Structure 1
């Protein structure tokens, strides 16, 4: 039976894998880990949710256990397309490195103040997980020395190119390869077009190319297209959500105006939802993602640009408000469901003018997307799925020496809330978040108003 014991991993990583309940490698991990751990340059074409973060995380940290990082230089650099993905990758690497002493993993991204990040770099991290724009700013100020980098990872490389980071990536990659010696360069992408092949050829040496399967194949996702009248799309989305009742769903729109209009319609109908679009401030984006991933909102309505780089588990359904312009975009959209071996549903709304696009998609797919008529779809207000939790923001975090255990203890002991009423707890530098059952919200907020937590008065509020 295949398991992680077959790989030459350090004891600390094997212990972390056991603690995290990772017993069997995914198909992606089995395919690429031998080459990754041997030190080869590798380019992997794999869908999102296939376990690539764990694969390159084990590679970075296992190498770090054998050749400890210099106190002055990061040992590894991971480039990600968005802040959200950088945070998620950093968090997973921190979990893996929990048993490894003095292994600092630092996320660097834009949309927040630069000064605190520069302060964190005074004691060099072992691993930097960064967005291209922010890390380029820091390098150009002479605040990040790349000469000690042994592993360079491009995560979701196709998304970074799509988002216009080509020049920044070229500068960073060139700088790393000039300053550091013997760099292992790893590239992960959901699609493998000409730009990705060129990137691999330029910056990788004799790279092993691993394509697990056709990137457009999604065997664990049931796809269907519903034919609708052009002015009935919003009604069709409400009807589908009330019919299928997914625990969580992402609806992809083409424009910010479509996002706003659909969000207003669904909110009026009684759905609990969040939006994700390009005009939102970073704190609004962060709140939306936290609420959705913590089951405090069932529906996320997003544009393609805003949703790039997201890594949200257990999304039961994806709805394409309009069919995308090309198959790669469609593939990325539907890849938000059916992750990590789970099954999912992907529904695309089309009208008469869209059928030619769908025919083009079907010509490239191993199995056609069937078309259903939408006349039978009916919106049922009494079948709206309500979220499991409500989100509470707590105005204190790691900088205030507040931990998950402190929050959990205060809620269960001081507010006398049963642990079954508490969902996800997340602690950031300045603020924290807790997902709780609606019936317990008032008592928890009263506790924060009237009592001290760790000897301090801490403000908390319900996130609307």
Structure 2
């Protein structure tokens, strides 16, 4: 975190007030380095990872030149996955709150294209999406990007890894040459530099190496037999008892196996992988961020876009094949000066991965046998919150305050018992303390939100 304040930037007073209300006080290192040139209209190639504050780094410049009275698409943000696109769109809406009627549309695969076409017909200032689905809309002529003034390539290295180069190239060629192009990448492989030289003009290079302080992260490695890996996972979870953890696996099949095993042993665990429908993925992510699920089992690709400021722990059920991916995983905990815990399991045939991590971090990595931990069959305590799902969202003009009012009004639930509220396009989610989940559900089912009855269920 830098010492620089957002007030030093040429931002509108209303935006500065909005930033303060959102908890943006001091700029992160990437924001301090990249925002001044980006706000001045320069093209950027910036090295920044998840959790570094990069979303605000590209969103504030595009908002500063947005014309809310023009409902043509003025900014396009390309992301590798649906999860990241959804996350970026949500943060963009928060950062745009001071400007009336700014419309942000998310266009991703895995969702019906019909409603997306309907949204675009009503106009969109900012489009956030994955390359494949953006290309679909261009092919159908349902999206016009000929007047884009800001193009953002977020996690560009990941998009290239996923084979999106041709799609990205054809999308960029449909935008004006006069646009500002902001390219963000966790790494700078040669193909990223080729992309920059091809599509950017005199791009300023901004590199912020430290995205998290490993001094705040306690890293522990446990060796176990391959046959007893699931049992070993139980042991480290029971011993360390994290409030919440993301458990990383290398394949979708392993995610399913691990999730089923944890559930069989009394843990509240949810799976996040590429085969889930978007609706199910949204529900999983919301339950985890609303603290109604303690353990999220995920692949790396599915977990991209999962940005939690206060994640107590990450667990590597499988060590990643790439040492850089290990750094990326553990960087999700121990943020903003908080302490974090990174636990890793490995079998003897994975020892070479441990050696790769040690070489990458330029230090010896110590490990111990998992049997040194006491054997315990205990599951984690039930989560403190329960998530309720309401069949109405932004399209039905539902706002967080409406949900809170429906819960707390007329002698209802104490407002202190209500946790996070997430409002999406057609659905909303509210976290309520577990002991009050039943009366809260009854209160919403019996009452009205904004004068309307909505179906409500417990997840």
Q: TM-score, normalised by structure 2?
A: 0.93
CA offset digits 1:32-66 (Å, max 9, x no partner)? 112212211111112210111111111111232xx
| Secondary structure of residue in 1 paired with 2:178 | coil
Aligned pair 1:425/2:421, yes or no? yes
Aligned pair 1:189/2:188, yes or no? no
| Secondary structure of residue in 2 paired with 1:348 | strand
Q: How far 1:137 moved relative to its partner?
A: 0.9
Alignment-derived partner of residue 23 in structure 2: 21
The verdict on how the C-alpha distance between 1:39 and 1:128 changes in structure 2, with shifts beyond 3 A counting, is same
CA offset digits 1:375-413 (Å, max 9, x no partner)? 212343457243120111112222333222221111112
Aligned pair 1:35/2:37, yes or no? yes
Q: 1:57 aligns with which of 56, 59, 63?
A: 59
Q: How far 1:356 moved relative to its partner?
A: 2.1
Distance in 1 (CA, whole Å) between partners of 2:213 and 2:321 is 18
Alignment-derived partner of residue 84 in structure 1: 83
| Secondary structure of residue in 1 paired with 2:118 | helix
Alignment of 1:434-445 (within 5 A): 434-445=430-441
CA offset digits 1:159-179 (Å, max 9, x no partner)? 222223222112112222xxx
Distance in 1 (CA, whole Å) between partners of 2:68 and 2:173 is 21
The verdict on how the C-alpha distance between 1:216 and 1:356 changes in structure 2, with shifts beyond 3 A counting, is farther
Alignment of 1:312-323 (within 5 A): 312-323=308-319
CA offset digits 1:6-30 (Å, max 9, x no partner)? 1111222112112212111011111
The verdict on how the C-alpha distance between 1:418 and 1:244 changes in structure 2, with shifts beyond 3 A counting, is same
Q: 1:387 aligns with which of 366, 383, 389?
A: 383
Distance in 2 (CA, whole Å) between partners of 1:231 and 1:339 is 34
The verdict on how the C-alpha distance between 1:401 and 1:146 changes in structure 2, with shifts beyond 3 A counting, is closer
Aligned pair 1:203/2:199, yes or no? yes
Alignment of 1:224-263 (within 5 A): 224-263=220-259
Contact 2:83 2:304 in 1 (8 A): no
Contact 1:317 1:337 in 2 (8 A): yes
Alignment of 1:52-131 (within 5 A): 52-64=54-66, 68=67, 71=70, 73-131=72-130
190-199 vs 88-97, which moves further: 190-199
| Secondary structure of residue in 1 paired with 2:407 | helix
Q: How far 1:337 moved relative to its partner?
A: 2.0
Distance in 1 (CA, whole Å) between partners of 2:101 and 2:443 is 36
Distance in 2 (CA, whole Å) between partners of 1:353 and 1:430 is 47
Aligned pair 1:345/2:341, yes or no? yes
Q: How far 1:69 moved relative to its partner?
A: 6.1
Distance in 2 (CA, whole Å) between partners of 1:415 and 1:116 is 39
Distance in 2 (CA, whole Å) between partners of 1:171 and 1:343 is 44
The verdict on how the C-alpha distance between 1:189 and 1:341 changes in structure 2, with shifts beyond 3 A counting, is farther
Q: How far 1:250 moved relative to its partner?
A: 0.8
CA offset digits 1:330-387 (Å, max 9, x no partner)? 2332232233443322222122222222212212224343222212123434572431
Once superposed, what is the RMSD of the aligned Cα atoms?
A: 2.1
Alignment-derived partner of residue 145 in structure 1: 144
Distance in 2 (CA, whole Å) between partners of 1:285 and 1:84 is 8
Distance in 2 (CA, whole Å) between partners of 1:181 and 1:200 is 14
Q: How far 1:219 moved relative to its partner?
A: 4.6
Runs of at least 5 residues in structure 2 that lack an aligned partner in the other structure: none
Aligned pair 1:451/2:447, yes or no? yes
Number of residue equivalences: 457
Aligned pair 1:365/2:361, yes or no? yes
Distance in 2 (CA, whole Å) between partners of 1:197 and 1:217 is 27
Distance in 2 (CA, whole Å) between partners of 1:3 and 1:448 is 42
Aligned pair 1:135/2:145, yes or no? no
Distance in 1 (CA, whole Å) between partners of 2:210 and 2:390 is 45
Aligned pair 1:334/2:336, yes or no? no
The verdict on how the C-alpha distance between 1:107 and 1:456 changes in structure 2, with shifts beyond 3 A counting, is same
Aligned pair 1:285/2:281, yes or no? yes
145-154 vs 195-204, which moves further: 195-204
